[in-house]
Structure 1
Amino acid sequence: MKKKAGILLSLTLAASTILGACGNTDKSSEKKEGKESKNFKVGMVTDVGGVDDKSFNQSAWEGLKKFGKDNKLKENEGYRYLESTKDADYIPNLAKFVDTNYNLTFGIGYKMQESIKETAGKNPKKQFAIVDAVVDKPNVTSITFKDHEGSFLAGAVAAMTTKSNKVGFIGGIKSPLIQKFESGFMAGAKTVNPNIEVISQYAEAFDKPEKGSVLASAMYGQGIDVIYHASGATGNGVFTEAKNRKKKGENVWVIGVDRDQNQEGMPENVTLTSMVKRVDVAVEKVSQKAKDGKLEGGKKEEFGLQDDGVGIAKTTDNVKKVNPEIVTKVEEFKKKIVSGEIKVPSTPDEYKTYEASLKK
């Protein structure tokens, strides 16, 4: 009997040990998972426009903040940004995130293309993402948008609004990216009215509001009454000039870019509409993929009208005041673009071909 009792006691102790070990393993696994989740870090480097550019840097930061809050990460610990005041800041800022073991680092704006390429090449085990450019590296996710499609709608709105039959485009730095905005805008305007006059100017900067004011002043001075800007913080000057003229009784408009810029036109209410580019959504989605371990570097993520990556802002009060039918017409154009019936030009050469086809 003693021998049987001893065996039973041994089995009981063994079972307790096994169960205890299982329990410890579960707790250890949960603790490890929680630690990994807590330690996930994502950083963002702005271009020279700064995080408060009222445009794509700000939109990117809004997306990153939403991701952080949704995942219960602390700002400046789990997610943060570094501002660049000059091009020379790009690589040092990217390096700061690499050196502090961030899991994913965003470079916002095509001007950071070479800096991301160089930094990613030197740090193959780190993940990077860039907005508005393509970097062919296995650890870089390239986020691009069909800016020309959204800009087409902006051009159509401008053409259906103008009283002078003259509209303007102000770009930041003349580059293939900003020429996508210009080409789409001109195509939309000319589709509505082949005889409309479209004047384009470039500020050659994304961080010079004073230059935006000067260019806008010249355009409004020559009779243009609607200006579409794709110039980052430089566009703040366009709004300033429009508001000053509105105070004097002039009926002029600005079409914003990247995010709904309705508030930038207040209190004089000069924002006709905005070409919204969902940089916030793109940044949020890519960040979540990285956190979930599903981000595959070396791929291109493109957002267009079809997936609401670009489009006209939901704030349509001023457009409806001009003519309620404009909103309906914009939806018709959108459907034609998504279906392929309208192929929006994205380069100056494609635009020339498109414009020629309108005259046939």
Structure 2
Amino acid sequence: MILALVMALALVACGNKNTDDGKKDDDKKDTPTVITNPDEVQDEMTSSDGKYEVAFVTDVGQLKDKSFNQGTYDGVKLYAANNNLSYKYYQPANGSEVTDDDRFAAMKAAVDNGAKVVVCAGYLQEAALRMAAKQFTDVSFVFIDGYPVGEEADVKDSPALKNIAGVAFKEEQCGYLAGYAVVKEGYTKLGFTGGGGGNNPACCRYGYGFVQGADAAAKELNEKVEINYSWQYGASFSASPELQTMAAGWYQAGTEVIFACGGSMFASVAAAAGAEEGKVVGVDVDQSGESPTVITSAMKGLADSAQWALGKFYAGEFASIGGVQTSLGANENAVGLPTATWSLTKWSVDSYKVMLQDIKDGKIAIDNNYDNLASTENVTLNIVG
């Protein structure tokens, strides 16, 4: 009898009961909490079966580079966490001396560990991606800062691999905004130091856009601008004493602001700026929290693009982006300057938003062919190295 009474009470307790507003619990819909802060998601997780469904393979440099790798992985983590998926990152061996075989080994490890979709960061992944996509035809690959990858290297009109989605950005647009902003702020002695040795299309677009924006502001203000422009010490996108020494020399010679465009290279430029009372333009993500020397950052939606591409995969729509080029810019809200940490005093957020809309509407044309980089009537380029 006691047992029967306990069971009856338990059934009452677990059944539907009226709440204070007179509605039943079943009438309420639980709204899942969406995580928007990637810092709330751990970098490493342990899956129950030892398999990891979503993988990320880093570019050169460290995962926590406060820039390209970290920004992309933030999107991977957020998508996985919000969709209850297992995830893991893979760092290719040999650091700055990484080879295509090292990158392929990281992709293979991801697939062997159960990855259904692999996000790869950086244009240097092309050769390894070609090998991996051809070997693991049932796996989808997202090529951030990438493009369609042909089945055969260096073969014109080679069919694009359908299990690779190339996602690129219109970096010339946010580079333009950053260049315009610093000249409007009153700076006329600028610098640009880029990663990839001048062979990285994204960095080349950033730099060319930066020059165009500086030129536009200089014309408005009837000013003359000088820009030191260099790919030295940036081939590996890494911080180095040599890069810091070069940046310090620029500051000592009168450079006021340097656009540090290349992952961990930022650390060297920011250190030089701090020692020489200079300023820095950050890249890829809002880097203002990394150094008080940052006055703005040329940002692109790395985290958002990774989530967008993963969403396509899990919606069964990967075929719409596989084997084709996707280029995200102002019209997709994928590039811009950070407004939440705005520190500029001579150019307002409202004026920035007007310019951004003009870019979207095509009223401001920004060239993306960086082969056209050259001095102008208002901007003198000093090519270094």
Q: Conserved in 2, the CA contact under 8 Å of 1:47 and 1:87?
A: no
What residue identity is the alignment partner of 1:54?
K
Q: After superposition, give the CA deviation of every residue in 1:142-191 in whole Å (9 maximum; x if it has no partner).
A: 1100000010000001212244x211111011123311111000000011
TM-score w.r.t. length of structure 1: 0.79
How many residues in Structure 1 have an aligned counterpart in Structure 2? Answer: 305
Secondary structure of the corresponding residue to residue 336 of structure 2:
strand
1:171 has 2:194 as partner:
yes
Contact 1:209 1:238 (8 Å CA) reproduced: no
SS class of match (1:216): helix
Shift in Å at residue 208 of structure 1? Answer: 2.8
In 2 relative to 1, CA 355–346 (structure 1 residues): closer, same or farther, beyond 3 Å?
farther
* 2:168 pairs with 1:144: yes
> What is the SS of the residue equivalent to 2:59?
coil
Q: Matches of residues 202-241 of structure 1 in structure 2 within 5 Å?
A: 202=231, 203-241=234-272
Question: Given the alignment of the two structures, is residue 200 of structure 1 paired with residue 229 of structure 2, yes or no?
Answer: yes
Amino acid of the residue matched to residue 251 of structure 2?
Y
TM-score by length of 2: 0.74
Distance of aligned partners of 1:315 and 1:211 in 2 relative to their CA distance in 1, 3 Å threshold = farther
Q: Pick one of 322, 344, 347 that aligns with 2:366.
A: 344
1:99-118 equivalences in 2 (<5 Å)? 99-118=112-131
Q: Which runs of 5 or more structure 2 residues have no equivalent in the other structure? A: 1-49, 150-159, 380-385
In structure 2, what is the equivalent of residue 80 of structure 1? 88
Offset of residue 40 of structure 1? 7.3
Q: What RMSD over aligned residues (CA atoms) do the two structures have, in Å?
A: 2.3
Which position in structure 1 is the counterpart of 2:60?
A: 48
1:274 CA drift (Å): 0.7
Greater gyration radius: 1
Residue of structure 2 equivalent to 1:333: 355
1:314 Cα offset (Å) = 2.3
For 1:304-323, list aligned pairs within 5 A: 304-320=329-345, 323=346
The structure-2 alpha-carbon separation of the partners of 1:205 and 1:281, relative to structure 1 and needing over 3 Å to count, comes to: same
Match in the other structure for 2:179: 155
More deviation, 61-70/338-347: 338-347
Q: Percent identity?
A: 25
| SS in structure 1 at match of 2:119 | strand
Deviation of 1:44 after TM superposition, in Å, equals 0.6
- One-letter code of the match for 1:197? E
Match of 1:242 in 2: 273
In structure 2, the residue matched to 1:271 is: 294
Contact 2:286–2:338 at 8 Å: present in 1 too?
yes
Q: Which residue of 2 aligns with 1:261?
A: 287
Evaluate the alpha carbon distance shift between residue 107 and residue 312 of structure 1 in structure 2; reply closer, same or farther with a 3 A threshold: same
Contact 1:170–1:227 (CA under 8 A) maintained in structure 2? yes
Secondary structure, aligned partner of 1:334: helix
The amino acid that maps onto 2:331 is Q
Query: Does the 8 Å CA contact 2:55/2:110 hold for their aligned counterparts?
Result: yes
Partner of 1:4: none
Q: Does 1:120 align with 2:125?
A: no
Q: Match of 1:63, as an amino acid? A: G
Normalized per residue, which structure has more helix?
1
User: CA–CA distance in 2 between the matches of 1:55 and 1:62?
Assistant: 10
CA distance in 2, matches of 1:357, 1:210: 33
Secondary structure of the structure 1 residue equivalent to 2:296: strand
1:90 to 98, 103, 113: 103
CA offsets 1:27-61 (integer angstroms, 9 cap, x no match):
xxxxxxxxxxx977110100111211110100011
Secondary structure of the equivalent of 1:72?
coil
Q: Deviation per CA, 1:267-321: give whole Å up to 9, x if none.
A: xx2110111111101111111221232212223332101111110012344213x
Residue pair 1:151, 1:184 contacting (<8 A) in 2 also: yes
Distance in 2 (CA, whole Å) between partners of 1:355 and 1:349 is 14
1:65 paired with 2:53, answer no
Matched residue type, 1:51: L
Residue type of the alignment partner of 2:288: N
SS in structure 2 at match of 1:130: strand
- Name stretches of at least 5 consecutive residues in structure 1 with no aligned partner: 1-37
The letter for the 2-side match of 1:199 is N
SS for the counterpart of 1:349 is helix
* Distance in structure 2 (CA, Å) of the matches to 1:264 and 1:52: 12
The code of the aligned residue for 1:260 comes to: D
Q: Amino acid of the residue matched to residue 347 of structure 1?
A: N
